[in-house]
């Protein structure tokens, strides 16, 4: 992170609150709100989910400052990315995957409230059918299964040759119990929320509760802090997005190029989920990869996607509160 915390006036001198429409509902969201800021090193992003409290959002602001006020050299020209499949019906899978040209990995959302394991199995089966036997297919439950539910679901999903199951249960002890219980299925357990939402992001690795860590740049305090977590974890790591704009995806791409384990695709192709973005040249997958670069923000798109005055005031007040927390730390 930058050695000095910018004062609030500097931080907000070129700050824009946007509300980006999404093509499909994802994580319960149809419009993604974010603040994009311009620092001396380029555009950066502050976009903790609206339900997060200020203490949790503080890491996201550290991440924004790290990217906007620190020079990061790209370690590669591009990184491989996965397609992301929300909790859609099987008949919508092929059209959605077409938005991810060249991707040979797919992450499939499961355990969506209001759906069943039968729905999940049908969705994963269709992804496997469309992508073929050589593709890597992952599932992500966002911690919504109990150990018993996860064990049952993974037994039913095992025939589709999953690369891993991401955050099937909520807590580290539950992940450890599930990992032991399902060892014979050959499905690796990946931790996401147990890394990015934990007071100690390394606790899951120390507990032997996961085979893979999923890391996100903003929630871990930025590229610099996330690289330190990856280096200490001693486990394969996959870099993913937090439903960022292309500005935040650039932050993730720098992290993935520098620190992600080889043989995995990053979860950074999510610009394909937006109907609009903050840049005329979004970080969309091409040939199954996204470039490692900073996004150039379009003033026209900032205006077109500007949040309402009420939401803009809410976000700027939140940013001020979180900045005060960092200043007092």
- Three-class SS of residue 189? strand
N- to C-terminal Cα distance for the chain?
Answer: 14
CA distances from 206 to 174, 186, 215 (A): 14, 21, 16
Mean local confidence (pLDDT), 75-80:
98
Judge whether residue 21 has pLDDT over 60: yes
Q: In the chain, how many H helices and how many E strands?
A: 12, 12
The binding site for Mg(2+) consists of 140, 166, 192
Judge whether residue 1 has pLDDT over 50: no
Mean local confidence (pLDDT), 204-224:
96
pLDDT-above-70 percentage for the chain = 99
Is 107 considered catalytic here?
Answer: no
The reported pLDDT for the residue numbered 27 is 80
Domain extent listing, the chain? 8-72+299-328, 78-291
Phi, psi values for residue 43, rounded to 5°: -70, 145
Mean local confidence (pLDDT), 129-157:
98
Mean local confidence (pLDDT), 216-223:
96
Spell out the residues 6+ positions from residue 290 whose beta carbon is closer than 8 angstroms to its own: 78, 79, 81, 249, 253, 266, 268, 269, 271, 283, 284
**Token digits for 243?**
């439903």
Q: Which CATH architecture has domain 78-291?
A: Alpha-Beta Barrel (3.20)
**Please, what's the largest Cα pairwise distance for the chain?**
56
Per-chain mean pLDDT for the chain: 96
Mean local confidence (pLDDT), 53-64:
97
| Annotated catalytic residue, options 109, 128, 170, 196 | 109
The reported pLDDT for the residue numbered 3 is 65
| H/E stretch holding 16 | strand 15-26
Residue found by looking up tokens 């009420």 in the block: 310
**DSSP 8-state assignment for residue 69:** S
pLDDT-above-90 percentage for the chain = 94
| Annotated catalytic residue, options 32, 72, 123, 216 | 216
Judge whether residue 198 has pLDDT over 70: yes
The reported pLDDT for the residue numbered 2 is 56
Residue found by looking up tokens 């089966």 in the block: 125
Is 216 considered catalytic here?
Answer: yes
The binding site consists of 140, 166, 192
**DSSP 8-state assignment for residue 154:** H
- Three-class SS of residue 217? coil
Phi, psi values for residue 318, rounded to 5°: -65, -45
- CATH topology of 8-72+299-328 equal to that of 78-291? no
> Would you say the pTM of this structure is higher than 0.85?
yes
181: how many CB neighbours lie within 10 A of its CB? 15
Q: CA-to-CA distance for 300 and 121, rounded, in angstroms?
A: 42
Q: Which CATH architecture has domain 8-72+299-328?
A: 2-Layer Sandwich (3.30)
pLDDT band for position 26 (50/70/90)?
A: confident
């Amino acid at each position: 992170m930058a050695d000095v915390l910018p004062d609030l006036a500097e931080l907000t001198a070129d700050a824009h609150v946007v509300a980006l429409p999404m093509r499909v509902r994802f994580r319960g969201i149809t419009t993604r709100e974010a603040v994009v800021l311009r620092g001396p090193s380029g555009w950066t992003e502050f976009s903790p989910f609206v339900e997060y409290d200020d203490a949790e959002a503080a890491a996201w602001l550290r991440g924004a400052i790290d990217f906007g006020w620190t020079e990061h050299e790209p370690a590669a020209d591009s990184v491989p990315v996965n397609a992301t499949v929300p909790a859609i019906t099987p008949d919508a899978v092929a059209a959605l995957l077409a938005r991810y040209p060249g991707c040979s990995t797919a992450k499939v959302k499961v355990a969506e409230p209001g759906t069943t394991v039968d729905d999940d199995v049908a969705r994963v089966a269709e992804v496997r059918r469309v992508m073929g036997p050589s593709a890597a297919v992952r599932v992500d439950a966002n911690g919504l299964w109990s150990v018993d539910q996860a064990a049952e679901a993974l037994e039913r999903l095992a025939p589709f040759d999953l690369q891993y199951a991401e955050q099937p249960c909520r807590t580290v002890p539950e992940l450890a119990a599930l990992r032991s219980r399902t060892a014979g299925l050959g499905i690796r357990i990946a931790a996401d929320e147990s890394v990015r939402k934990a007071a100690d992001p390394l606790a899951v690795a120390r507990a032997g509760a996961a085979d893979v860590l999923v890391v996100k740049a903003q929630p871990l305090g930025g590229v610099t802090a996330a690289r330190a977590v990856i280096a200490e974890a001693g486990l394969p790591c996959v870099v993913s997005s937090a439903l960022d704009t292309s500005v935040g995806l650039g932050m993730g791409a720098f992290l993935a190029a520098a620190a992600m384990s080889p043989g995995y695709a990053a979860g950074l192709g999510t610009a394909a989920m937006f109907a609009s973005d903050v840049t005329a040249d979004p970080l969309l997958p091409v040939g199954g990869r996204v470039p490692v670069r900073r996004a150039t923000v379009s003033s026209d798109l900032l205006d077109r996607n500007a949040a309402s005055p009420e939401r803009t005031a809410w976000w700027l007040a939140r940013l001020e509160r979180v900045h005060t927390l960092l200043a007092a730390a």
